Structure 1
Amino acid sequence: MTTTRFAPSPTGYIHVGNLRTALFNYLIAAKSGGTFILRLDDTDPERSKQEYADAIMEDLEWLGLTWDRVERQSDRLDRYEDAAQQLRDIGRFYEAFETPTELDLKRKKQLNMHKPPVYDRSALALSEDEKAALRAERGNGVWRFKLDHERIEWTDGILGDLSIDAASVSDPVLIRGDGQFLYTLASVCDDVDFGVTNVVRGSDHVTNTATQIQIIQALGGTLPAFAHHSLLTGPQGEALSKRLGTLALRDLREAGVQPAALLSLMARLGSSQPVELHGSLDEIIEGFDISTFGAAPTKFDVQDLYPLTGRYLAGLSVSEVAATLAELGVPAELAEPFWTVARENITTLKDLGPWWTLCRDGADPLIDDEDADFIAQAMTLLPDGPYTADSWGAWTNAVKDATGRKGRGLFMPLRKAVTGMTNGPDMSALMPLLQVIRAKG
């Protein structure tokens, strides 16, 4: 049974970078009929907020990424303490007391000597009396996991065969001086206890994975299959981190992006497969293949979401947008013809409002100076509404006969005068929806 997890910290809103991790893990579980766990990494009591936990669930539900169960790390502190004691008992956990300044000086000295800046394990040489004296002077130390200095190797689901020399990595801190359990220990305990079989996360976690492999082995757990996806950049290759504040999922939702567009893009971006709009999550699940993704940084442009959103909306029936049309005040008898016209001319549902305003209230006419007399004459030939599908053709033929104008010189000035725009839907379809034409006076 495949079991995956998405493990956000409830310290902020989900953004597009988080979504990539959530989606990949969801799709792997869904494709195999497995279990998808939402794990809230809330061991930091100061930064973790219930409002963010609620927002994470709301955003996932908006996308249809439903979870099979929720786990909270704050409920499992006793389990983490048991694991810490297990590591102490087997000699793989030790207390260290260096201050940040002391650690920084050690790193600089190592770099000056052309050595890797890793922790020198000097705490292992402390006697019990020395430790007691340091606790009295500085408070409790941090707890570090003692790595076996050997090569750590695994086959990554995206990056292929990886090998990291543990001697080139500092013994990771798993418990802070204030007693807070850090991600590395808590995550390992959870993955072992919950039977997680597949872990997909960003490539910035590769070194974490190497150390976690040894921790899992030390605790007697079974190693999951790891895959590390590339990190997103901006459209020019720039770091995305500075723009994430504008790329929260709730901001994209507010901007009118549709879930189908977002999921379709994210399920293919950075892979060898072309981006295709899928109307359902089932289609995305069926076509997902993590082995098609590459290691290179992946460019993400939020503007790519809007054509996909427009295409998705264009394929919806009037019944699927009935609530939105009702909120706008579109009469039931006009809902279907209005949607048929509008859906080909919108990018998001937010664009419907101006189109209904045009139909209901008319538009400020756009009349070039050289066309003023022409429009004035044309408007005398426009009959009173209500208009039908034949009204535009009958009117333009009458204007053509009276003025001699034809082609673009005939149609464009009339469109601009009636709609206030230079482009838009077929006027034969739009005319029956117009309640008012302001240029008529």
Structure 2
Amino acid sequence: MSSSSPVRTRFAPSPTGFLHIGGARTALFSWAYARRHGGQFVLRIEDTDVARSTPEAVQAILDGMKWLGLEHDEGPFYQMQRMDRYKEVIQQMLAAGTAYYCYTSAEELEQIREEQRARGEKPRYDGRWRPEAGKTLPEPPAGVTPVVRFRNPVGGSVAWEDLVKGRIEIANAELDDFIIARGDGTPTYNFCVVVDDWDMGITQVIRGDDHVNNTPRQINVLQALGAAVPQYAHLSMILGDDGTKLSKRHGAVSVMQYDEEGYLPDAVINYLARLGWSHGDDEIFSREQFVEWFDLDHITPSAAQFNTEKLKWLNAQYIKKADDGYLAAQVASRLARRGVDPEAGPALERVVALYKDRATNLNELADAAELFCVELHPAPEVLAQHLTPVAIAALKGLHDRFAAAEWEKTALNQAIKDTMAEHGLKMPQVAIPLRVAVLGVPQTPSIDAVLEVLDRERVLKRLARYLG
């Protein structure tokens, strides 16, 4: 690839499940590399596994990409819609002699492999239908539909400078003539990927290191086609908190699960950016800053470890810095999904401003906001513990003072202090029963700030329920 080629990266998930954290990191790095170099980011859906690919999974991938804000410049392209193109290239390869028909049955293949294992050899296709100079091939057996195999080079090796792992070299003798089209004519994964990367002009293939074994085969096919070979960057896997491969039991089911759990997309992006890549000691940075800094030189070749507590901490930092209007909109949609009218309480911007410094996710913010919208009835044991006869007497005095007070924090704080003095009580002996009476919980931010936001009418109405 010449250094002057415009950068074109791609994200090519298989729609056999959700967009998970590993896939999202691959998409992020591919997107960021394209953005960093003023290039194009292509989205391709590799849906040739018809038995396992579903429209729901395609939509889940598109939803996940949209939620993360990883917009693509081209696509989504679907491999199932490109079948004619793959078959056209296969015919060209058959004509050029870089591919050939193979009539070996599944039973024969298994027998070949058993014999090879018995001899202590690596089980592989033995090339019996591979055309060679001076070799006479048998007549094709009747009734057998052939597969098409790639005529892999015999000698030498295939090598590439992996942008993450360094130089990788595989002897061609290690690779057999793999199938590029099945008996029914459908092309195989490794072949479709090659044609797609070629047709789409992909210059950097950034993907998980589970694809390293596919790379030498794909490079050989590209070279047989006379196509430019992209640069490859293979990202190490992500481990769970416990050091084992990230899986469903770590909660890594879907990127959209993080939305459900109240994470901000920018926090998830920031966290994913730090999974296996770093910029000095910087921990918190915008996606714009990430794009400006991102390169493939600082990706660690060792596995990255997912840390749920670190993600929670990062999310809390993003919530603290977030615009109140944005947070209010997020909280409003969460309340509506719970069947709570977000308009039933005070302005949500004012509520989230009170709680954003103590929330680690949007669901906690919504829990707090719900108390302002809905009159909760505390459990009998909570009432018995906090709304004692002494507390009720103090709340009656407070009710009268609140009815006449100017409705702002300083005046409300003074009303509480006057009530404490009148009844000979300490702040918690008044403030905690007051919290239970107006919000149903014993702990909130500063009570005068809570009262100011809740407003006089609601406070007096909620207090009155307990004053007989």
TM-score range, shorter chain: 0.7 to 0.9
Structure-2 change in CA distance of 1:372 and 1:127 (3 Å): farther
> Where does residue 363 of structure 2 map in the other structure?
350
Where does structure 2 lack aligned partners over 5 or more consecutive residues? 1-5
Structure-2 change in CA distance of 1:25 and 1:370 (3 Å): closer
For 1:62 and 1:407, how far apart are their aligned partners in 2? 45
Contact 1:188 1:212 in 2 (8 A): yes
Contact 1:260 1:278 in 2 (8 A): no
Structure-2 change in CA distance of 1:439 and 1:285 (3 Å): farther
1:383 matches 2:389: no
> Where does residue 432 of structure 1 map in the other structure?
452
The correspondence of residues 283-432 of structure 1 with structure 2, limited to 5 A, is 283-302=289-308, 304-324=310-330, 328-330=341-343, 334-365=347-378, 366=382, 369=385, 372-384=388-400, 385=402, 388-390=408-410, 393-402=413-422, 404-406=424-426, 415=435, 419-432=439-452
Find the residue that maps to 1:18 and give its secondary structure: helix
Deviation of 1:212 (Å): 1.0
Contact 1:418 1:439 in 2 (8 A): no
Match of 1:178 among 180, 184, 200: 184
> Where does residue 271 of structure 2 map in the other structure?
265
Once the two structures are superposed, what CA deviation does each residue of 1:289-348 show, in whole Å capped at 9, x if it has no partner?
222111222222455443333322322223324544666434796344223113223333
Deviation of 1:224 (Å): 0.8
Aligned length: 437
Deviation of 1:4 (Å): 0.8
CA RMSD after TM alignment: 3.2
> Where does residue 91 of structure 2 map in the other structure?
85
Of 286-295 and 199-208, more deviation after overlay is shown by 286-295
Find the residue that maps to 1:200 and give its secondary structure: strand
Contact 1:345 1:424 in 2 (8 A): no
Find the residue that maps to 2:129 and give its secondary structure: helix
1:7 matches 2:16: no
Contact 2:212 2:234 in 1 (8 A): yes
Deviation of 1:92 (Å): 2.9
Structure-2 change in CA distance of 1:89 and 1:139 (3 Å): closer
Structure-2 change in CA distance of 1:406 and 1:114 (3 Å): farther
Structure-2 change in CA distance of 1:271 and 1:324 (3 Å): closer
For 2:322 and 2:386, how far apart are their aligned partners in 1? 42
Of 235-244 and 250-259, more deviation after overlay is shown by 235-244
Once the two structures are superposed, what CA deviation does each residue of 1:361-404 show, in whole Å capped at 9, x if it has no partner?
44445357498354334323322556531365335424543555
For 1:406 and 1:245, how far apart are their aligned partners in 2? 45
Of 23-32 and 427-436, more deviation after overlay is shown by 427-436
Q: Given residue 178 of structure 1, which amino acid in structure 2 is its aligned partner?
A: D
Q: Percent identity?
A: 32
For 1:424 and 1:102, how far apart are their aligned partners in 2? 74
Contact 2:246 2:252 in 1 (8 A): no
> Where does residue 225 of structure 1 map in the other structure?
231
Of 255-264 and 77-86, more deviation after overlay is shown by 77-86
Q: Given residue 429 of structure 1, which amino acid in structure 2 is its aligned partner?
A: A
> Where does residue 3 of structure 2 map in the other structure?
none
Contact 1:151 1:163 in 2 (8 A): yes
Of 30-39 and 264-273, more deviation after overlay is shown by 264-273
For 1:336 and 1:342, how far apart are their aligned partners in 2? 10
Where does structure 1 lack aligned partners over 5 or more consecutive residues? none
For 2:228 and 2:85, how far apart are their aligned partners in 1? 17
Contact 1:92 1:147 in 2 (8 A): no
For 1:28 and 1:324, how far apart are their aligned partners in 2? 30
Contact 2:15 2:47 in 1 (8 A): yes
For 1:165 and 1:440, how far apart are their aligned partners in 2? 86
Q: Given residue 316 of structure 1, which amino acid in structure 2 is its aligned partner?
A: A
Match of 1:282 among 258, 283, 288: 288
Q: Given residue 376 of structure 1, which amino acid in structure 2 is its aligned partner?
A: I
Deviation of 1:234 (Å): 1.7
For 1:97 and 1:147, how far apart are their aligned partners in 2? 20
Contact 2:157 2:169 in 1 (8 A): yes
Structure-2 change in CA distance of 1:407 and 1:220 (3 Å): same
Deviation of 1:254 (Å): 2.7
Contact 2:207 2:234 in 1 (8 A): yes
> Where does residue 58 of structure 2 map in the other structure?
53
Of 21-30 and 401-410, more deviation after overlay is shown by 401-410
Contact 1:206 1:228 in 2 (8 A): yes
For 1:336 and 1:244, how far apart are their aligned partners in 2? 34
